[in-house]
């Protein structure tokens, strides 16, 4: 259909909104129509530059926008109607804030002349979302709409990324602006993002690097956030730095993919369910280089016992993260890519001073820790199917495709992080900060829309899947070849594990054995191919069939019912107090 955005000498509010999206290179929208945003959808009807994807639930639309961005580095918009439409999106907005994901949320409001009267489907969206957005606005003056939208997009996509919400009363969509002109947005001076890093700071870090005998790089989602298929320079620089110094490196859950986990210097993931060697190295190191991380509790364990004898360097774009949880010796506000580039250049200048003999004993200790083989498992040929085995096979089969893995939240999420060894940026898409069950499928849909020719695998379990399983309708509607791999043990697995370990095995409301649906029949009702596997010898062939199938495919593997995620740092414990099965 012909684009009629510029077909007259005046613009109405809804047309201005679409023009702002296009001016900011936003051409994809996830949403749901309702009474308050019908004027906006009516304007969408007469244009063709912006593609809209309908979801079965507003929460799923917000997660899809996260998946879309996390796969590409490109922002999508979310359209939500008033009242329950907006409040249904609250979980996804919060998730985006905690995982620093930029997103533009357009909530539509009741007409401005009835705001405050408890009108039908009225909700105080600004009040509700003030603490879960990077910023939010309500626009009652159509003449301010364009600049507000430009500012919202700019704030979402600069500094520490995050969701920004614009609430628009229904009548503003239909008000006219005579002789509208799309002007360039000029950022406010009060919003000043510091990206550069002083050379003096780099010199201080290099001195510590040269002197260190037990160092470690600790890298997080901040590095993933600045990389894309078109910009791999930061992770290329990181690789050069690691090889130049011969330092070990570990990554967070959000940092998976910034460094190849099969590289000789990689200690893989750290934290509550990280490797023994990564956590022990974090505890015993004398120098910690923390890049784009936030020292969250799943990584630090008991704060007072966290890496007690190390010098700590912390680099983050958000100054509020520095010295927030962990006091550090050198706190650097700035962009991770600038830091990595400057550090690499300075290390090259002083390469003659870098002595690998300094870390020889350290590597000897680390290699002893590696012998623990903390992710090791033994799959009996005729035994119950182990989740470790399923995901290890999935990784081996899909590795050559460099797939995007999305996950829900729970035991399967941790096993996926352990065994799906992604080696490229942005390939592991999960809900880390908020830990949102129901994230995986809509995020996979968003990623598949963003990357139509790539393999997208959603790793899930029955508890999480049932949170947003209605999005099978979206998969079918848009004929998306998303692959869904369910580890089915008919428990809320992680809750059951904690009840077993810390509540004397008093299992309460965690068993799905008699209540879980027939997922094959469920998928069939949406016209999606599905299969269940319950024997070890059939697992590999079933995964291969799923991967090679042209359309969407749902594979449920019935795994051992009571299986815990190990290794584990128990709550309130230190890194060197890991427990094993």
DSSP 185: P
Helix axes 13-23, 38-45, angle to 10 degrees: 60
Active-site hit among 23, 47, 74, 121:
121
Asked about 58 being catalytic, the answer comes back as yes
Cβ–Cβ < 8 Å for 278, 217:
no
Q: CA-CA distance, 76 to 82, in Å (whole number)?
A: 20
The helix/strand/coil state of 487 is strand
Q: Is the dihedral of CA 30, 33, 36, 42 positive or negative?
A: positive
Residues comprising the chain, all counted: 581
Active-site hit among 30, 43, 44, 58:
58
**Percentages helix, strand, coil for the chain, rounded to the nearest 5?**
40, 15, 40
Q: CA-CA distance, 491 to 494, in Å (whole number)?
A: 8
| Phi, then psi, of 465 in degrees rounded to 5 | -60, -40
Q: CA-CA distance, 120 to 12, in Å (whole number)?
A: 24
Report H helices in 73-220: 84-87, 90-98, 125-129, 145-156, 199-211
Active-site hit among 282, 414, 494, 578:
494
Cis check: omega of the bond before 567, within 30 degrees of 0: yes
Active-site hit among 134, 161, 170, 473:
170
Active-site hit among 4, 10, 51, 120:
120
Beta strands (DSSP E) in 146-278 are 163-169, 176-178, 215-219, 249-251, 266-269
Cβ–Cβ < 8 Å for 56, 5:
no
What is the chain's alpha carbon radius of gyration, rounded to the nearest angstrom? 25
- 70: closest CA among 391, 337, 444, 435? 444
Asked about 560 being catalytic, the answer comes back as no
Asked about 121 being catalytic, the answer comes back as yes
Cβ–Cβ < 8 Å for 259, 242:
yes
Report H helices in 384-482: 387-398, 411-419, 440-450, 462-465, 472-477
Bridge partner residues of 80 (DSSP): 107
Q: Is the dihedral of CA 25, 104, 159, 297 positive or negative?
A: negative
DSSP 116: T
Name 330's Cβ contacts closer than 8 Å, sequence gap at least 6.
Answer: 201, 204, 205, 208, 311, 312, 313, 314
Nearest-5° Cα angle at 237, 233 to 242? 150
DSSP 171: G
Q: Is the dihedral of CA 305, 306, 310, 312 positive or negative?
A: negative
Active-site positions? 58, 120-121, 170, 494
């Amino acid at each position: 259909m012909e684009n009629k955005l510029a077909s007259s000498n005046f613009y109405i509010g809804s047309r201005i909104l679409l023009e702002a999206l296009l001016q900011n290179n936003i051409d994809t929208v996830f949403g749901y129509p309702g009474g308050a945003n019908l004027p906006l959808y009516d304007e969408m009807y007469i244009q063709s530059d912006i593609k809209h994807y309908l979801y079965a639930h507003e929460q799923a639309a917000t997660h899809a926008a996260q998946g879309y961005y996390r796969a590409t580095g490109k922002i999508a918009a979310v359209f939500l109607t008033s009242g329950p439409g907006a409040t249904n999106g609250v979980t996804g907005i919060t998730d985006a804030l905690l995982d620093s994901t930029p997103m533009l949320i357009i909530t539509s409001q009741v007409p401005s002349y009835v705001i405050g009267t408890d009108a039908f489907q009225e909700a105080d969206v600004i009040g509700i979302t003030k603490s879960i957005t990077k910023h939010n606005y309500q626009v009652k003056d159509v003449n301010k709409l364009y600049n507000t939208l430009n500012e919202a997009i700019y704030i979402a996509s600069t500094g520490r990324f995050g969701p920004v919400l614009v609430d628009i009363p229904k009548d503003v969509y239909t008000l006219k602006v005579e002789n509208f002109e799309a002007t360039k947005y000029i950022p406010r001076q009060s919003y000043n993002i510091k990206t550069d890093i002083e050379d003096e700071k780099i010199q201080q870090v290099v001195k510590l690097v040269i002197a260190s005998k037990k160092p470690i790089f600790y890298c997080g989602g901040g590095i993933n956030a600045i990389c894309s298929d078109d910009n791999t320079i930061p992770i290329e620089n990181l690789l050069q730095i690691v090889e130049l110094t011969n330092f070990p490196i570990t990554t967070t859950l959000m940092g998976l993919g910034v460094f190849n986990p099969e590289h000789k210097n990689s200690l893989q993931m750290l934290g509550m369910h990280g490797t023994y060697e990564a956590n022990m190295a974090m505890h015993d190191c004398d120098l910690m280089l923390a890049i784009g991380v936030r020292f969250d509790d799943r990584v630090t364990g008991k704060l007072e016992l966290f890496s007690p004898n190390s010098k700590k360097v912390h680099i983050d774009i958000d100054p509020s993260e520095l010295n927030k949880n962990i006091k550090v010796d050198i706190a650097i506000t700035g962009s991770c890519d600038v830091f990595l580039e400057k550090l690499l250049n300075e290390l090259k200048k002083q390469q003659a001073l870098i002595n690998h003999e300094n870390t020889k004993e350290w590597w000897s200790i680390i290699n002893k820790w590696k012998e623990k083989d903390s992710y090791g498992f033994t799959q009996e040929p005729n035994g119950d199917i182990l989740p470790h085995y399923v995901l290890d096979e999935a990784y081996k089969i899909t590795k050559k495709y460099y797939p995007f893995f999305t996950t829900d939240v729970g035991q399967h999420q941790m096993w996926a992080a352990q065994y799906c060894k992604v080696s490229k940026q942005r390939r592991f898409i999960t809900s880390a900060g908020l830990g949102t069950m129901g994230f995986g499928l809509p995020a996979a849909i968003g990623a598949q829309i963003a990357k139509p020719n790539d393999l997208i695998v959603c790793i899930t379990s029955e508890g999480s899947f049932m949170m947003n399983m209605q999005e099978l309708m979206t998969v079918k509607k848009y004929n998306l070849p998303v692959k869904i791999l369910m580890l089915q043990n008919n428990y809320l697995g992680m809750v059951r594990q904690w009840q077993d370990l810390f509540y004397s095995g008093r299992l309460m409301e965690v068993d799905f054995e008699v209540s879980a649906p027939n997922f094959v029949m469920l998928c069939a009702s949406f016209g999606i191919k599905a299969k269940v596997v319950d024997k070890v010898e059939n697992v590999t062939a079933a995964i291969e069939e799923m991967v090679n199938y042209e359309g969407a495919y749902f594979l449920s593997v019935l795994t051992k019912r009571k299986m815990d995620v190990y290794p584990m740092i128990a709550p309130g414990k230190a890194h060197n107090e890991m427990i094993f099965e």
